Amino acid sequence: MAINTNKKRVLVIQPLHPAGMEMLNARDDIEIIECDSLDENVIAEAAKDVHAMTVRGATITRKIMLQAPDLMVVSRHGVGYDAVDLDTLNERNIPLCIAIHSNMISVAEQAMALLLGLAKEIFYYDEVTRTNDWAPRFPTRAVDLDGKNLLIIGFGRIGRQVAKRALGFDLKVFGYDPYVDDSILKTANVEPVKDFREVLGDMDAVAIHCMKTEETTNMFSDPEFKKMKRDAFIVNCARGGIIDEHALYQALTSGEIRGAGLDVLLNEPSAADHPLFSLKNVLLSPHIAGVTVESTRRMATQTVDNVLRVFDGNIDPECVVNQNVLNSSG
C-alpha cells in the first residue's frame, strides 16, 4: 500500500481513550496506524515510516525505532519511561514526551488509600464483619495517622501531591529527594532529609514515589527494613524493583515492619504463587494507581497533545524527558 507522504503518520500502540483519538481524527494532516499488540516484531512492522508513536504498556526498543527513519517523537501515555530505549532517542535527537499532569492526583490518592487501608486494617475488618464476627473489635488493631511521621521518597509531582494529602491528615511529612532543592520541600511544609536511612527509625510510614534507576533499584532491602520501626508501613506506587521483594517478605513475616501497600511488583503480571500474595499484612493493586476514569482521559489527551505540539513546532519543554535534544541542531 502506498504511503501518503503529505501526512504525518502516527502509530497508536494499544487503544487510547476516545478523547485522544478525536484529537487525532480532527486533523486532516495525520494518518493513524493502530497496533493493539505488545509483541516487538508486530510493533516493528507497524512502525515502518511513522513520524510519531503513542505508547502505553509496550516496550519500545531500538529495533522498533529503526523502522521509522523520520520519527519525530515518542509520546508516553503516562509518566514512566523505563520501557523506552532512551539512548536510541538521544542518539537521533528525538524527544520522549510524558503526560506529566495526567495521573499525579490519581497516584497520590491511591498511595493514601493504601496507607489508610493498612493503618485502619480495612480489609481485615471487612472480612470478619462479613462473617458476623464482632469479637475482633477488642483488642483493637487499627492505628491513627494523626501526628505520625511519613517519609516520602521522591518529591516530584506525585510526591508533592502525596505530601499535600498527608498534611491534610495531620501527618508530619518528611521528604527525601537529592535532585530537588530543600527550599521546594520547605515551601510545601515538608522537612527535607539528606540521608533517608538515618531517619528510618523515626518514621511510621514510608511512601515511595521516585523513578526506578540503577541508584534506586533495591533501595529498600534487608539493611533498610532492619532500621525501620516494627509497626511501620511501606507503600510503593512507583515501580517494582525499588523494593527488594524477597527482603520485604522476610521483613513482613519476621515482624520487622507491620505492613506493605504495593501497586507495583518487579514482574508484572506476577505469578499467582508470589510469596507476598499469601500475606495478610500486604495490600495489593495491579499497577492501577494512575488509572482512573478521569486520569485515563487526561493521559490520552496529553499524550496526543504532545505529538501535535511536536508536529506544529511548539513543543512543551516541561513534558520532555530528554531535555538535551531540545537544543540540538541535529
Instruction: Give the CATH H-level superfamily of domain 8-102+293-327.
Output: NAD(P)-binding Rossmann-like Domain (3.40.50.720)
**Cα separation, 109 vs 162, whole angstroms:** 7
Is residue 118 within 8 Å of residue 261, measured between CB atoms? yes
**Considering 76, 209, 287, 298, which one is annotated as catalytic?**
287
CA 229/CA 140 separation, integer angstroms: 19
> Residue 82 and residue 264: Cα distance in Å, rounded?
14
268 is catalytic: yes
Give Cα 92 distance to the centre of its chain. Answer: 26
Grid cell listed for 156: 516530584
Joined together, the cell numbers standing for residue 109 give 490518592
- Tell me which fold the domain 104-284 belongs to: Rossmann fold (3.40.50)
Give exposure, 171-192, as e/b (b: 16+ Cβ within 10 Å).
bbbbbbbeebeeeebeebebeb
pLDDT on residue 330: 45
Residues paired with residue 300 on neighbouring β-strands, in sequence order: none
pTM to 2 decimal places: 0.84
Residues constituting the chain: 330
Catalytic residue among 22, 268, 294, 318: 268
Q: Where in the chain is the domain with CATH 3.40.50.720?
A: 8-102+293-327, 104-284
Active-site residue (options: 51, 76, 239, 298): 239
User: Nearest to residue 179, comparing CAs of 150, 153, 149?
Assistant: 153
**pLDDT by residue, tens only, the chain of 330 residues:** 445 568 999 999 999 999 999 999 999 999 999 999 999 999 999 999 999 999 998 999 999 999 999 999 999 998 889 899 999 999 999 999 999 989 999 999 999 999 999 999 999 999 999 999 888 888 889 999 999 999 999 999 999 999 999 999 999 999 999 999 999 999 999 999 999 999 999 999 999 999 999 999 999 999 999 999 999 999 999 999 999 999 999 999 999 999 999 999 999 999 999 999 999 999 999 999 999 999 999 999 999 999 999 999 999 999 999 999 998 644
Whether 239 is catalytic: yes
Query: Can you give the pLDDT at residue 189?
Result: 98
Those residues with Cβ within 8 angstroms of residue 327's Cβ, 6 or more apart along the chain or in another chain: none
Predicted pLDDT of residue 1: 46
- Chain-centre distance for alpha carbon 116: 19
Q: Given CA atoms 122, 128, 132, 138 in this order, what sign does their dihedral have?
A: negative
Number of alpha carbons in the 13 Å side-chain half-sphere of residue 277? 10
CB 248 within 8 A of CB 222: no
Residue 52 · residue 29 · CB < 8 Å? no
| Per-residue pLDDT, 139 | 84
Return the pLDDT at 328: 67
Q: What was the pLDDT predicted at 329?
A: 43
Question: What pLDDT score does 4 carry?
Answer: 53
